[in-house]
Amino acid sequence: MSIGDVEAVVIGGGAAGVAAGRRLFQAGIKCLVVEARGRLGGRAWTVASPAGFALDLGCGWLHSANRNPWVQVAEEQHRTIDRTPPPWTRPSLVLGFPPDRQREFRREQEAFFARVSERAQREPDVPAANLLVPNDPWNGLINAIGTYISGAELDHVSARDFDNYEDTGVNWRVVEGYGTTIASAGAHLPAVFDCPVQCIEHSGKRLKIETAKGIINADQAIITLPTTVLADEELFTPALPEKTEAARNLPLGLADKLFMSLERAEEFESDSRLFGATDRTATATYHLRPFGRPLIEAYFGGRLAHDLEASGERAFFDFALSELTARLGNAFAARVKPIHLHRWGADPFARGSYSYALPGMVACREKLAAPVDDRLFFAGEACSSGDFSTAHGGFFTGTKAADQLIATRAQTLNV
């Protein structure tokens, strides 16, 4: 059964798909966004807490905010941009981590980043963990932060890719939610929901997209699927082994957030941070009173997140409670309650949180992004060489793929 006939189909309605769809729509191209979930946004997802706060279960920070195009989109939607510097740029709580130890840690971490940068210029590429100083007491915490940045321990991550990430150091937030902003930006686009794509047939004159709801015929397509989906499923007929291989070399690391309510929150400074532990990798970081709200946002990455996901939702809260009570005393347990968690690894349409390149595989980002036959175009955070793992990386690659599509259309149609 045919459910659509369009000039361009956008597969996946996350940050990249929304940005691509907006560009095509503006250019007057008859397009359709095909999304497996019942909503737009993908890994950008805002939910409401019982008290009515907007909680971002996926992306929350407008990283590189001074060049992040979602800022303008949020402003056009009359959203409230919060410019409070993020907790990781300021000292953490002194509990169990006195200021002189924090300064020592920062020095060690900066020195590690500098060694990664220096090594990234030379062949061959190596795992970022090779740049840790053997037996340094800060390795556990440097690695823990690596799991928040990449979703994986540093021994899995390419040093060159780690260094390629372009960060202006300006980080803002949207009070009403990053996920809400991205989903609203695509609300006017023609879209079909609850409609996973099962096959992209590209041997004929026109594309035939098989979905759970029927077939869509199209001239061209922009594919914005997470690398996990591209790596695990043979979606293309004929197969595109170079895409499958590129996607496999750009796995999604895992990071999960748990939101908890906090009683007598005023005891803590707004937007402050506490590490569960400073001497190991398997630890969460706790963002206290985000936006000044009576909440704690716990962040779990890498193997720890995988292990907790395998043990079920409750395991996240139990782990957080064990770390928080170790720092703040047993009575603290009565002041916190779990509110929201999303297990991104168990999410069938994400299967992880954000991409990193395996050692030696940096070129896969360009390989993944390369168009096929001037009619299959690729976007998504993993296609970005410098803004990967972010929602603005999704925006840039989505817009670029749409521009490529528009340019080839203009050539073919000679307009």
From the list 120, 274, 350, 362, which residue makes contact with ligand FAD (rule: CB under 6 A)? 350
Which residues does 24 contact at the CB level (< 8 Å), separation at least 6? 8, 10, 31, 222, 402, 405, 406
Using the minimum distance from each CB to ligand FAD, give the nearer residue, 196 or 359.
Answer: 196
35 binds ligand FAD (CB under 6 A): yes
Out of 4, 12, 21, 177, the only residue in the binding site for ligand FAD (CB under 6 A) is 12
Q: Minimum distance between the CB of residue 136 and ligand FAD, rounded to whole angstroms? A: 28
10: contact with ligand FAD by CB under 6 A: no
Q: Residue 131, SS3?
A: helix
Over the window 286 to 325, marking each residue x when it contacts ligand FAD by CB under 6 A and - when it does not, the resulting string is ----------------------------------------
d(CA 279, CA 404): 48
- Cα separation, 350 vs 343, whole angstroms: 10
| Contact pattern from residue 57 through residue 86 relative to ligand FAD, giving x for each residue in contact according to CB under 6 A and a dash for the rest | -xxxx-x-----------------------
Q: Which is nearer to ligand FAD, 12 or 359 (CB)?
A: 12
Residue in 353, 357, 364, 409 binding ligand FAD, rule: CB under 6 A: 353
Closer to ligand FAD by Cβ: residue 92 or 227? 227
Please return the burial class of 78, using the count of CB atoms within 10 Å of its CB with bins 0-12, 13-18 and 19+: exposed
Does 197 participate in binding ligand FAD (rule CB under 6 A)? Answer: yes
Give 285-339 as a 3 state SS string: EEEECHHHCCEEEEEEEHHHHHHHHHHCHHHHHHHHHHHHHHHHCHHHHHHEEEE
**CA nearest neighbour of 279 among 144, 88, 133:** 144
Burial category of 243 from C-beta neighbours within 10 Å (exposed 0-12, middle 13-18, buried 19 and up): buried
Please report, as ranges, the residues that interact with ligand FAD according to CB under 6 A. 11-17, 34-37, 42-44, 58-61, 63, 196-197, 224-226, 229, 255-257, 344, 349-350, 353-354, 380-381, 389-392, 394
